[in-house]
Structure 1
Amino acid sequence: MIETGPMYFNGIYHLFYQYNPFGSVWGNIVWAHSVSKDMINWLPLDNAIKPSKPFDKNGCWSGSATILPGNKPVILYTGIDLEHRQVQNIAFPKNLSDPYLTEWERPDYNPIIVPDGINASSFRDPTTAWRGSDGYWRILVGNKRGSRGMALLYKSRDFKKWTKKQHPLHSGARSGMWECPDFFPVSLKGKEGLDTSARGSHVKYILKMSLDLTRFDYYTVGKYNEEKDQYVPDNTSPDNSTGLRYDYGNFYASKTFFDAGKNRRILWGWANESDYKEQENARGWAGIQMIPRSVWLHKNGRQLMQWPIEEVENLRGRQVHLRNVPLKKENVVQVKGVTAAQADVEVTFHIPSLKNAEAFDPTWVDAERLCGKMDSTVQGGIGPFGLLTLGSSNLEEYTAVYFRVFRNKHKPVVLMCNGGPRSSLRTNLYKPSFGGFVDAKLAKGKLSLRTLIDHSVVEGFGAGGKTVVSSRAYPTLAVGKDAHLFAFNNGTTTVIIRRLKAWNMARPLKMN
């Protein structure tokens, strides 16, 4: 269920996604289609694009949606043709007066872009188009040459005939195939989103690629030279697989779009399964969409901020809260009164003193490995402290979302982790402790965490959305009403829950 062409059109949100109508395994890929008025409650429609033409007979793979002048939506997607080449195709709504755009037509002049002189098995996922000051439309297509990943750039005056630029917009050595590239402007001022064709002195750009080698998404912040059609990352983060990520957990093949209704940029991401194939087949589905997020550039201009869209708060029900609760060494406090299998939790921790923080080893560059080495059971000076979500009554099972604070020369180093081997009693599951570092100054000793819990999904937002870490969990005991929520501290330094709010979350409904 990889999202492929999200868009906002005439008051309706559309989500197109990769889908196998015949099972939970990869294959028979179509563009499924659902619509919503709030991105929370959805109405599934008939599949929008199905393999049936010579240019997509063997699959309709990922792509994007663009709103053309005159308020006309168009879809670009990768088709697998009769020769099993990856080619780029176009589709239009059959009836613009249909508010849900249920039917789509593919003109016979497809494919509009073919892999001339390009590896035809590594040529996919066209981006949302943007229009330059010269009147030409531009798109990116993911590609690789040898081990070098790249975002090929194509230009068109009429959105029908496309010409490849000699050089890619950007590329990366030893990065492998760049899947699902995304390229969009962000404002240097405030949280407002920008249309993909926006430009000016108030704008920076984000280039994101999904690396097939690692199955993670990476991005850089940089500048775009339209005259040269060249993107140059700022020298503020690594331009490789050690760089910035939207999410340092189970999150891949993401896509953004501009929400003109609320003037914001929305990020969709996909989480894969790590369950047994037999369980996936029994359920009849595999892979889920994460909660959509608003994204904007942090005021320092060095990274993106992310936060669940405000509409998710409409699902909040009963609230419970804690205030000024000290968490001493090896202390666990149950948060009672909340339906812990489906909850929204916001907590602010206060660290009274940093003097007991352990020294940070500069060789600890891999946060996920560090979380695995120092999981929630390994006592530290400051931390681990945080939440034990999807916990069984006696804590045989739990998915831990937590922080550790280390001492460094210039400022503290904050590690954030999510997941871990105790998330399920089932053996032979992939149960990593995902992790990322948080660029937090710990002003006045405060550190915040918001956690969305939804049965098998735990999304953690650290420091107001500076770092996000998500995981999947498959508990055997902590299921439904038998799931519990705890706050904990396994560090020698007492940490205080300054404020904790938790809400029961209702189930989304089908849109009326």
Structure 2
Amino acid sequence: MEMDVFIFLVGLCAVSAEFIDDTSYIESFINQREPTLSRKYRPIFHIIAPDGWISNPAGFTIFKRQYHIFYQYHPYNGAWGRMSWGHAISSDLIEWIHYPAALIPKDYYDKHGCLAGTALVRKNFLTLFYTGHVSEKESMQTQNVALSGNGLIFQKYLYNPLVRDSPNGIGEIRNPKVWRFRNVWYMIVGTTSRQWNGQLVLYTSTDMFNWKHNGTLVESFGDMGYVWENPDLFEIDGYHVLILSVQGIEADGYRFRNLYQNGYVVCFFNYQRARFEDLEVSTATFYELDYGHDFYGAKTLRAPDDRILMVAWLGMWESNFVESTEGWASMLTIIREVSMNKDGRLLLTPIREMVELRSEVLENAWYSPGEVFDAESRSFELIADSRSVDADVGIVFEWKNEGRFTIGYSAEHEYITIDRGGVDGVRRAYWSPKDYVHLRIFVDASSVEVFCGDGEVVFSSRIYPKSMSIRITGEAQLHIVQYRIRRSVGFDAKVAQRLKQDILHKY
């Protein structure tokens, strides 16, 4: 028996009886009812919690031929609170089923929150690395692990925390990104330096449970904020891509306009030296993943067909979540496929499986500037194409409470702009389509995601429409195809029945 499996089994046999005996969170999940899904502004094809607050994706993996997405989750109301790990499962990336929370904050090292980290599979165990948060006189954050053999009930390792302290002596250290290369496990954790510059620290392990601090991997030069969190790393086309969620970058024109930023740098990780080669993380090398108002904490997964898949929080801190009065708040983005163009820039496109959600064609015609038609659905996909790139293109979504969301392409200046109104409602990105303007837009009750061309530019934003209509503006005719999209996220009675029989009766 390998040492890491032996260590785990020893810890599992001695795991706290309290964790297994406390099934109240499962009982609460079983008592959830489908009508909670029909609340005002609630989406139907985006992953969302059964109830309460949702924020950053916490983990994204495949276990026993099913996709598992975890997310930071406060189940009691539509506001931030002690974070659990929410859980949704799919067999095809389209139909998502709610599962009970995977992690609950209750132990001395995580009693004020189980924060995002990594989900992976090791030795037939679904394994969750996460940050335990304690906020008393001083904030304390530690790195921990929990495991499951069935993907339903997760048991925290008896000898948590795995990493007890920040090497800088500062409480801000969270969101472990964990992976294995050959016989070594690597853990990157986001933190801040003593000079309050964002940085990443590295830990290594040979057994996944005992970790050695290997120093600072990379640090801000001073222009990249004061805290780095939610690090993610993947390989594509011979390069490594490092994703960071950054607090404290100052806006630069139409760059970095959100409160916090989520972007990437292209780099190379040298496993022999356990270091990045010639990596510079600065505002000159850091590219935003999404130019909309609401995008943060992106996580990636390499699928069995070798695609890189990405999901993120379709939200932003300190936003006005109108729906919170209904007892819920926010959602995750639709899943995107990640590729790289010849210039080393990432392209984000909707996963190809999204076409399976089309239930009805609502529009299929050419429209001239000034023409208007009703959206006819709260949740739809709209594809807009022009004949060339030499004329301005515009689409305006309008609704009865005098709100609007505007998309406009400027041929002269070669940029595309969105405007959802209000203070700081404008976002803009440079874009140079080659032959014609192609937009693919997803609206889901209270969100809009705009994919431009082959995914060179993406905008993700929250909106709160009522009785939407669509007006064509600009100078060019647009060919519009609009599809109604069906519900694909919800409860499954079979899951509840299985929980009653296999879990509640057992414990």
Q: Aligned match of 2:290 in 247, 252, 260?
A: 247
**Residues 443, 57 of structure 1: CA spacing in aligned structure 2 closer, same or farther, 3 A cutoff?**
closer
The corresponding residue for 1:154 is 203
| Root-mean-square deviation over aligned CA pairs | 2.5
**Residues 220, 59 of structure 1: CA spacing in aligned structure 2 closer, same or farther, 3 A cutoff?**
same
Amino acid paired to 1:332: G
Structure 1 SS opposite 2:103: coil
Q: Where does structure 1 differ by over 3 angstroms across 4 or more consecutive aligned residues?
A: 81-84, 169-172, 232-235, 273-277, 320-325
Determine if the alignment matches structure 1 residue 65 to structure 2 residue 119.
yes
Determine if the alignment matches structure 1 residue 443 to structure 2 residue 434.
yes
Q: Is the 8 A contact 2:199 2:216 kept in 1?
A: no
Structure 2 SS opposite 1:311: helix
The corresponding residue for 1:212 is 247
The corresponding residue for 1:496 is 477
Instruction: Measure how far apart 1:454 and its partner are.
Output: 1.0
What are the Cα deviations for residues 249-301 of structure 1, in whole angstroms up to 9, with x where unaligned?
110111112222x4322111112267656x44421112211111111222x04
Amino acid paired to 1:140: I
Instruction: Measure how far apart 1:10 and its partner are.
Output: 1.6
**Residues 137, 170 of structure 1: CA spacing in aligned structure 2 closer, same or farther, 3 A cutoff?**
farther
Structure 1 SS opposite 2:57: coil
Question: Counterparts of 1:57 and 1:349 in 2: how far apart (Å)?
Answer: 54
Determine if the alignment matches structure 1 residue 315 to structure 2 residue 305.
no
Question: Counterparts of 1:233 and 1:464 in 2: how far apart (Å)?
Answer: 30
Question: Counterparts of 2:461 and 2:354 in 1: how far apart (Å)?
Answer: 19
Question: Counterparts of 2:327 and 2:229 in 1: how far apart (Å)?
Answer: 26
Q: Is the 8 A contact 1:182 1:209 kept in 2?
A: yes
The corresponding residue for 1:258 is 302
Q: Is the 8 A contact 1:6 1:65 kept in 2?
A: yes
Question: Counterparts of 1:276 and 1:451 in 2: how far apart (Å)?
Answer: 23
Unaligned regions of 5+ residues in structure 1, if any? 189-202, 354-381, 407-412, 422-428
The corresponding residue for 2:381 is 344
The corresponding residue for 2:332 is 289
Amino acid paired to 1:388: V
**Residues 501, 66 of structure 1: CA spacing in aligned structure 2 closer, same or farther, 3 A cutoff?**
same
Q: Percent identity?
A: 24
Determine if the alignment matches structure 1 residue 507 to structure 2 residue 498.
no
Structure 2 SS opposite 1:282: helix
The corresponding residue for 2:25 is none
The corresponding residue for 1:142 is 190
**Residues 453, 116 of structure 1: CA spacing in aligned structure 2 closer, same or farther, 3 A cutoff?**
closer
**Residues 415, 171 of structure 1: CA spacing in aligned structure 2 closer, same or farther, 3 A cutoff?**
same
Stretch moving more, 304-313 or 449-458? 304-313
Q: Is the 8 A contact 2:62 2:120 kept in 1?
A: no
Question: Counterparts of 1:352 and 1:448 in 2: how far apart (Å)?
Answer: 10
What are the Cα deviations for residues 83-109 of structure 1, in whole angstroms up to 9, with x where unaligned?
64100001110xx2x3xx110111121
Structure 2 SS opposite 1:495: coil
Determine if the alignment matches structure 1 residue 110 to structure 2 residue 155.
no
Instruction: Measure how far apart 1:308 and its partner are.
Output: 1.2
Amino acid paired to 2:464: Y
**Residues 392, 287 of structure 1: CA spacing in aligned structure 2 closer, same or farther, 3 A cutoff?**
closer
Unaligned regions of 5+ residues in structure 2, if any? 1-53, 249-258, 493-507
In the superposition, the TM-score normalised over structure 2's length comes to 0.77
Count of matched residue positions in the alignment of Structure 1 and Structure 2? 422
